[in-house]
Amino acid sequence: MKMKIFFGLLFFICALPAQMLADNEIGLTLIPPSVITNKVNLDVRAGIKNSTNNDIQTEVQFYLNNENPKSLLYQSIVTVKANSSQCVKFIMPTADKVGDNIVILLVKENNKCQRIQKPIKIIESKIRSTQQINGAWVGLYHWSESEGKMWNPDIKKLTTDQWKELVRSMHNIQMNVIVIQESFRNEMYVDKHEIEKEGYKGKAFYPSMLYPGRMPITANDPIEAILSEADELNMNVFIGVGMYAWFDFTTASLEWHKTVARELWDRYGKHPSFYGWYISEENSGGLDAYSSNKDELARRQKDIVEFFKVFKEYSSTLAPDKPVMLATSSYDVLKGVNIYPDLLKHLDILCPFGFARMPEGDLTGEEAANKLQQLCDSSQAHLWFDLEAFLFHEEGYLYPRPINEIVHDLTLFDNFEETLCYQYPGVFNNPEMSVRIGEKSTVKLYLDYKNYINTKPTSKNQENE
């Protein structure tokens, strides 16, 4: 039987006997996972899961491009306790590693060895940002009928094959990170629902066994469609665990997220493109769900820290190397400045939005970005950019933002190591797709952006020459 080999993710045995490590699972994650500049250090993580009843001692080695002593990046002897998991990580400086690279992980136990390798392209630059969009949110149906007016009627009709087609169209413009907005739809808000008394009545976007409700969309399992096509193209997919309720990080929400994450991992964890977890509930930049009440504010800030502490611990038992990401507003960052250090201990990636529309009297977008960068650097967390590729129409719906405004943000905010945008469906449309999602201007933005990435300088050095 022939085996299809993916350039970006190869699993094979490097010692006899020819079998995987018995009862043991490993994973390799690079943060960021796509193209980066040589001003960004690479966070390299190995996840080792021991599902046996005995402790297992392993030798973990990381190499760059070749398996020889000169290419060894990091090594460690790790004992993984019975029925537990462990993440082994190190930070790889990239200043002298410009080019197409492959990070190789070897995990050895006795005479057995597993190997995984993943590519990473590093480009020469004078700034941290690549000044292009590396990925995008994919909402399976927009949560607001008014905001999603121009694309919801189209997106609900997408077939399995058309979801795969959409993934390919993202890949064609180098948007190789996908954030699935949510796995469930439940349009409720923190402190304004009775879920604990009445039960959860949200509707799933996939064939969940947890709750009977299903979103009325054509594709039976768009999550499977997206992951399977992303596997083929060596792309990376965050799975949105929510929605429990907007801004809700209470104990009840936490327990719901753990239960849903378990089902999502059992169902989709086999996919190489399953990159990490996205917590769909979002929050304000002050981490207080936009509260103006002092006591309520303090409670909500305490809730979010505890939520991520416990969820990170739990998700690590499923896949110890996979990151957890949250998107927050860039507003009122100073209100949460004393809370961020505790939160970021348990949050791998913070991906804020709204820098281009800061309210009067707040920090400027650049000031907010710099403050958040300082906070993330101090906690060894990652700060990514959620660039808004849309504008609000006076009638309330979203429509594509002009390319010049998008390029303005890409060049203005140069500290972010990775840039994602909200969102792809209904904002960008490849004219070669079999269906157009949303209005005609989405095709223009796709073509304008494609022209931008094809003609922009490949590095900041070139731009200055």
Transcribe 412-459 into DSSP letters: H----S-EEEE-SBTTB--TTSSS--S-THHHHHHHHHHHHHHHS-SS
The answer to whether residue 5 is domain-embedded is no
How confident is residue 23, by pLDDT bands cut at 50, 70 and 90?
very low
Whole-number pLDDT of residue 322: 98
The answer to whether residue 3 is domain-embedded is no
Tokens of 384: 């990514």
Task: For residue 219, give the amino acid letter.
Answer: A
**360 vs 208: CA distance, rounded Å:** 44
Q: Which of 10-19, 46-55, 390-399, 456-465 has the lowest mean pLDDT?
A: 10-19
How confident is residue 12, by pLDDT bands cut at 50, 70 and 90?
very low
Average pLDDT over residues 57-80: 96
Whether a cis peptide bond, with omega within 30° of 0, leads into 174 is: no
Q: What pairing do the DSSP bridges indicate for beta strands 84-92 and 42-50?
A: antiparallel
User: Domain ends where: 72, 93, 123?
Assistant: 123
Whole-number pLDDT of residue 3: 40
More confident residue, 9 or 107: 107
**85 vs 26: CA distance, rounded Å:** 10
Claim to verify: residue 112 and residue 235 sit in the same structural domain: no
User: Domain ends where: 123, 152, 182?
Assistant: 123
Average pLDDT over residues 213-235: 97
The answer to whether residue 300 is domain-embedded is yes
The answer to whether residue 2 is domain-embedded is no
The answer to whether residue 1 is domain-embedded is no
Claim to verify: residue 316 and residue 381 sit in the same structural domain: yes
pLDDT(192) > 90:
yes
Average pLDDT over residues 116-145: 96
Claim to verify: residue 193 and residue 242 sit in the same structural domain: yes
pLDDT in tens, 247-289: 999 999 999 999 999 999 999 999 999 999 999 999 999 999 9
pLDDT in tens, 155-191: 999 999 999 999 999 999 999 999 999 999 999 999 9
Whole-number pLDDT of residue 4: 41
User: Domain ends where: 93, 123, 153?
Assistant: 123
Query: 325 CB contacts (<8 Å, ≥6 apart)?
Result: 179, 238, 276, 277, 278, 279, 347, 348, 349, 350, 351, 384
Claim to verify: residue 193 and residue 288 sit in the same structural domain: yes
pLDDT(19) > 80:
no
Claim to verify: residue 109 and residue 166 sit in the same structural domain: no
pLDDT(458) > 80:
no
**443 vs 173: CA distance, rounded Å:** 13
Q: Which of 48-52, 223-227, 258-262 has the lowest mean pLDDT?
A: 48-52
**213 vs 217: CA distance, rounded Å:** 12
pTM above 0.85, yes or no: yes
Average pLDDT over residues 68-91: 96
The answer to whether residue 353 is domain-embedded is yes
Claim to verify: residue 274 and residue 178 sit in the same structural domain: yes
SS (H, E, C) 203-265: EECCCCCCCCCECCCCCCCHHHHHHHHHHHHCCEEEEECCCCCECCCCHHHHHHHHHHHHHHH
Q: Are 332 and 286 in contact (CB under 8 A)?
A: yes
Mean pLDDT, the chain, as a whole number? 93
Q: Which residues pair with 438 in a beta bridge?
A: none
Claim to verify: residue 302 and residue 441 sit in the same structural domain: yes
Cα radius of gyration (the chain): 22
- Phi-psi category of residue 110: left, alpha or beta, with phi > 0 → left and psi -120 to 50 → alpha: left
Claim to verify: residue 80 and residue 160 sit in the same structural domain: no
Claim to verify: residue 118 and residue 140 sit in the same structural domain: no
The answer to whether residue 28 is domain-embedded is yes
Q: What are phi and psi of 432, to 5 degrees?
A: -85, -5
Claim to verify: residue 74 and residue 99 sit in the same structural domain: yes
Claim to verify: residue 25 and residue 163 sit in the same structural domain: no
Average pLDDT over residues 232-252: 97
**285 vs 301: CA distance, rounded Å:** 11
pLDDT(21) > 80:
no
How confident is residue 459, by pLDDT bands cut at 50, 70 and 90?
low
The answer to whether residue 89 is domain-embedded is yes
Whole-number pLDDT of residue 9: 41
Number of structural domains, the chain? Answer: 2
Q: Which of 16-25, 172-181, 292-301, 368-377 has the lowest mean pLDDT?
A: 16-25
Q: Which of 339, 362, 364, 361 is nearest to 350 (CA)?
A: 339
Claim to verify: residue 109 and residue 146 sit in the same structural domain: no
Q: What is the CATH number of the domain that holds 28?
A: 2.60.40.10
pLDDT(462) > 70:
no
List Cα–Cα distances, 114 to 15, 119, 417, in angstroms: 8, 17, 30
Q: Are 425 and 437 in contact (CB under 8 A)?
A: yes
Whole-number pLDDT of residue 24: 54
Domain that holds residue 242: 135-464
How confident is residue 112, by pLDDT bands cut at 50, 70 and 90?
confident
Q: What is the CATH number of the domain that holds 324?
A: 3.20.20.80
